[in-house]
Amino acid sequence: MSVEFRISNQYLRSNRKKGFVSFISGVSMVGLILGVMTLITVLSVMNGFHKELRDRVLSAISHSTITEYGSTLDNWQELRNKINQHPQVLDSSPYIERYGLLSANGRAQGISVRGIIPVLEKKTSILLDKIQNGVSDLSGSNILIGSGLALQLGTTIGDKITLLTPEISSSIIGIQPRFKRFNISGIFDAGINEYDNNLAFIHINQAQKLYSMKGLVSGIRLKVDDLFQAKQITNEVLNSLDANRYYGIDWTKKKANFIKALNLEKQMIGIILSLIIAVAAFNIVSMMVMVVTDKKSDIAILRTIGMTPNRIVKIFFYQGLTIGIVGIVVGVILGILLSLNIESVVSGIESILGFQFFPKDVFYINRFPSEIHLTDLIKVIIGAFVLVIIASIYPAKRAGKVEIAKVLNHE
């Protein structure tokens, strides 16, 4: 251990007896600890929110879809068998996606109608497992609607509901929109208003009749084994088919703006919260300047016994660095512990205050999910360490420039 490092440690220990200087040192370290802890916790909670939102959205939109130019497929059974031969495609299901108007109890709501085969749909989506009331039965004239849609129309399980389509049918009374009466067999709750308020499921056979698509489907939904390889897998599947006839859209294209918004939000919050660490680093500067002022007589004595200005600089640089490293290490440990237990901590605070931070009837997610990423930890540690180094340089250089003649004369 170098002489400079031992002296800096001695100053740290002696500062505990120095009243105000010791208090400022403690405040600087606590500020750095709180800044690092807060940044790690917030980034981890945002990672958890992003994962929760991504999983909920992907459960409803599928990992990828393949269709033919013209938006219809007439040989979907054969095409599905070829798609399922890809080793990374877990399963696939046909679907019909069209618009319609649901009416009941004197109310009407424009919706997206999805015609499916329930047995196959369950292999590519978890929406049919999100039944809040009733059962996921689409036999006959049954229909499944979202919880928000049921609330808007004032309907419940067993009620009759009318679906009007843009298709035109001719009869003896003239031309009129095609419509059909359905029975509500189930109400699902996906946890995303976009689907709970605007989506209804019917059997694919009923959809083909209502939308004049006999034997046709809109496309085939894919479920792959790796979400982040969806684009590559889709391209490989298309290459195995007739690329001039079919095209595919993976979830990264469908929700490109959504993903960009989540990433931008995390970056901006990270930058804003980094200012807390910057403020703590500036506290280290002010604290170290006071320490240098307090230790001027010691600096003069060290200089007179032969210690060079550069070695004096190292003493105070090591002191600032030690405070910063201890603050960073403690902040990281506390941040990880808080991130791992954030839900229980928030639950305790909610029970004490008597209200929920995220009511279920207002927000998509009513809890605090957390997911720690190693890359976030590394970025926070490196960023904080760089700021601590910068904050320690100026006071240390100032210590090296102390004029020992003036100090000794004053003493």
pLDDT of amino acid 145 = 92
Question: Which is nearest to 45 in space by CA: 332, 276, 346?
Answer: 346
Residues 6 or more apart from 376 whose CB is under 8 A from it?
40, 43, 44, 47
Do 240 and 263 fall into the same domain?
no
Domain end (from 244, 267, 294)? 244
Same-domain status, 227 and 361: no
Is residue 251 situated within a structural domain? no
326-348 per-position pLDDT tens digit? 889 999 999 999 888 887 877 77
Tell me which of 216, 244, 272 is where a domain ends: 244
Regarding whether 146 and 51 lie in a shared domain, the answer is no
| Spatial separation of the C-alpha atoms in residues 299 and 308, rounded to whole Å | 10
User: For the chain, first and last CA: distance in Å?
Assistant: 31
Cβ atoms 31, 283 nearer than 8 A? yes
Domain assignment of residue 64, yes or no: no
240 and 363 share a domain?
Answer: no
pLDDT of residue 183: 93
Mean pLDDT of the chain: 81
> pLDDT over 90 for what percent of the chain?
10
> Which ranges in 154-255 belong to alpha helices (H)?
193-196, 204-210, 230-240, 251-254
If one counts the domains in the chain, the total is 2
Q: Are residues 99 and 216 in the same domain?
A: yes
In a shared domain, residues 283 and 233: no
Provide the 3-class DSSP secondary structure of residue 182.
Answer: strand
User: Is 303 a domain residue?
Assistant: yes
pTM value is: 0.67
Residue 403 is part of which domain span?
3-55+258-410
Do 180 and 287 lie in one domain? The reply is no
Task: Report which of residues 162 and 276 the model is more confident about.
Answer: 162
- Domain identity same for 184 and 304: no
Select, from the ranges 126-135, 168-177, 248-257, the one with the highest average predicted confidence (pLDDT). Answer: 126-135
Q: Is residue 252, in this structure, part of any structural domain at all? A: no
Please, which residues bridge with residue 67 across strands?
247
Residue 290 and residue 397 share a domain: yes
Q: Is residue 60 part of a domain?
A: no
Contact call for residues 117 and 168 (beta carbons, < 8 A): no
13 CB contacts (<8 Å, ≥6 apart)? none
**70 dihedral zone (left: phi>0; alpha: psi -120 to 50; beta):** left
Q: Which residues pair with 262 in a beta bridge?
A: none
- Tokens encoding 112: 């997206």
Task: Tell me: do 38 and 118 sit in the same domain.
Answer: no
CB 246 within 8 A of CB 108: no
Domain end (from 244, 277, 296)? 244
Residue 65 belongs to a domain: no
Residues 361 and 231 in one domain: no
Residue 90 covered by a domain: yes
Q: Examine the domain organization and report whether 114 and 159 are in the same domain.
A: yes
Q: How confident is the model at residue 239 (pLDDT cuts 50, 70, 90)?
A: confident
The pLDDT of residue 125 is above 60 = yes
In a domain, 320, yes or no: yes
